[in-house]
Amino acid sequence: MSCIFCEIIKGNIPAKIVDENEKAIAFLDINPIADGHTIIISKQHYQYFSETPVDVLAAMTELCKNVANKISKSKLKPWGFNYLCNENKIAGQDVMHVHMHVIPKYGKDEGFKFGKCKNIFVNDIDKTYNIIKSTKI
């Protein structure tokens, strides 16, 4: 099955492109949760954030900043922003192509909203720290 974001990059699917650079492109989300909700994707296909080269992530982050500045200076005048990146279906990634969301906030209970989390299987912080610290990559 074809990747919808790769099809946007190829020009086979139209998108409202608001900015781009050599390695990434930013376009309005077709199912926005706030006015100006923008998606930033890598121009080359990488499935996950954790496997994407640092230079590509830097290019994507640069676009996040540019888009937020552009929206801030526009007539939309948001109060703030959420920057979001999910990895894998369990974390909410719907399209398996690395992407970041820039979500303007116009009110506390509008747009993206954090909810209470169930921390059923949370280790002691020292145990978690020791596990992570001792892991070699």
List the catalytic residues: 99
- Tell me the one-letter amino acid at 71: I
Q: CA 102, 93, 126: angle at the middle one, nearest 5?
A: 90
Q: How far apart are CA 134 and CA 61, in angstroms?
A: 29
- What residues form DSSP beta bridges with 28? 38
Encoding tokens for residue 134?
Answer: 């001792």
DSSP string, 84-131: E---SGGGT--SSS-EEEEEEESSTTSSS-------TTPPPHHHHHHH
